[in-house]
Amino acid sequence: MNKTVPETRGFFKEFASLVKDAAGVDIVVAPAFTSLYAAAESVKGANIKIAAQDVFYEEKGAFTGEISPSMILDCGCSHVIIGHSERRQYFNETDEVINRKIRAAKKNGLGVIFCVGESLAERESGKTFDVLNREIEKGLENIGGDNIVVAYEPIWAIGTGKTAAPSQAQEAHACIREKLRLLYGNKAAEIRIIYGGSVTTENVDSLMTCEDVDGALVGGASLQADSFARIVKFKTEAR
């Protein structure tokens, strides 16, 4: 919940110029709902796509305050984030609700960034893999694997300044990859798994050396054009 419409326009004016030469990456930015249209207008002709931060699973009707997939498309979005830990934590979104949202988004042709991840208590009690397997199985129930990106976001590392060590990130991403293989077979290799959890300019390079880390879901560091651009243009020879 950051940036007004004028602030959003100013951000993209700076950011688009910084990443115009970024090669080998897809850039998707998810502003607040009120700034989606302005953001989409700001990136026309640029190598940047726009996503919404959430979506409702009905197309229209008496659902005050909700935003449908077609409304998101109408704003110029190509993607939507679904199942973010803050939606699960603060708005009590269940795996079943998330599954309905993914179905609605895909039915309307939106690319889905599907978030999964464990809490600190779950990690400390050795339940990380159980949580990831459950959230993926229920969230993607009866859903094809096309046009989906899975984002691993350890809840204990979001906005806390804590970051999963590269080995921890790789371990979780490998678990997710294996679960996707069970669901989709060889097609799982085509599904990107990205890491989200206090990604910064200081740690992105080491995170991106991990075999199964295909990108980053960036939070606070994306609010400043220069730091976000540096993350987009991560430096590693291992990929």
79 assigned to active site:
no
Contact criterion met (CB below 8 Å) for 193 and 176? yes
Cα distances (angstroms) measured from residue 126 to each of 86, 119, 123, 139, 216: 22, 11, 5, 21, 24
Query: Residues 113-138, buried b or exposed e (16+ Cβ, 10 A)?
Result: bbbbbbbeebbeeeebbebbbebbee
Catalytic one of 84, 122, 135, 173: 84
Catalytic one of 79, 122, 153, 173: 153
Across the beta sheet with 193-195, the strand order is 27-29, 48-52, 79-82, 111-116, 148-152, 193-195
Tell me the residue length of the chain.
239
Contact criterion met (CB below 8 Å) for 112 and 82? yes
Instruction: Please say whether the dihedral angle defined by the alpha carbons of residues 152, 154, 155 and 158, taken in this order, is positive or negative.
Output: negative
DSSP state of 216: B
153 assigned to active site:
yes
Provide the annotated active-site residues: 84, 153
